[in-house]
Amino acid sequence: MNSFFSNLFSSQTITLASFPTILFSLALALGAGLFIAWIYRRNYRGVMYSNNFTLTLIMMTLITCPVVMCIRESIQLSMGMVGALSIVRFRTAVKDPLDTAYMFWALTMGILLGAGQFFLTACAVVGIGLILTLVTHMQAKGLNSFLLVVRMSDESERQVNQLVNGLKLQQLKSKTVTANGVEATYEVRADKPDALLNKLRSLPGVYDATLVAYSGEAV
């Protein structure tokens, strides 16, 4: 029995001296995953935020790191891992293309940490995080897109259209005419949404006006 366990563990490439390196790499992977998740949450501009996706980013970094540490010393394990992963099919739909970039970012950090490229990992995770934050905030300042829903009487439609046409960018998305009046939906960009709502409310014949945050682009 003792010879069995000694032969079993002697065939492994992990030694006692390598355990601090393994723990250090996993700790860095956890830190990198938490940083990526924090950047994702801070820069999220969608409607439905998913905590599960944030946890997935952390787990992807943690899981990839030991896998690369395992196969980097053995060509046989590398080829076997490639063959095993080639038959795995992921069917989870990614709604936002930017989420795919975050997933590749987490995978790349796990691969670099597993390969022992600690300095390159630090430069990549910090640099990409700063770039994403900067670009996201620049877009957020330039794109104040809203869906404007106005319920009004037939007589006030002309005045509402004149007010909306005075905005920088606007487009009529839908219009419903009923016996009670008109309901119109516009896609607009407004730097001061509260002022726009106050102007619409002051118009005679406007029953109500609603602004909804919109992640698309106005034409």
Predicted confidence (pLDDT) at residue 141 exceeds the cutoff of 90: no
**Measured distance CA(126)–CA(219) in Å, rounded:** 34
Which of 44-48, 59-63, 165-169 is predicted with the least confidence, judged by mean pLDDT? 44-48
pLDDT score of 149: 87
Instruction: Express each pLDDT in 13-35 by its tens digit.
Output: 444 447 788 888 899 999 999 99
Q: Confidence band (pLDDT; 50, 70, 90) for 213?
A: confident
Instruction: Express each pLDDT in 150-204 by its tens digit.
Output: 888 888 888 888 888 887 777 888 888 887 888 888 888 777 778 888 888 888 8
Predicted confidence (pLDDT) at residue 214 exceeds the cutoff of 60: yes
pLDDT score of 140: 58
Q: Count the helices and strands in the chain (H runs, E runs).
A: 8, 4
pLDDT score of 101: 87
Enumerate the domain spans of the chain: 15-140, 145-213
pLDDT score of 10: 47
Structure tokens that stand for 130 in this block: 């700063």
Q: Could you confirm whether domain 145-213 is CATH 3.40.640.10?
A: no
- The contacts found for 176-185 with CB under 8 angstroms, 24 or more apart, are 181/151, 181/152, 181/153, 181/154, 181/205, 181/207, 182/151, 182/152, 182/153, 182/154, 182/157, 183/149, 183/150, 183/151, 183/152, 184/149, 184/150, 184/152, 184/157, 184/160, 185/147, 185/148, 185/149, 185/150
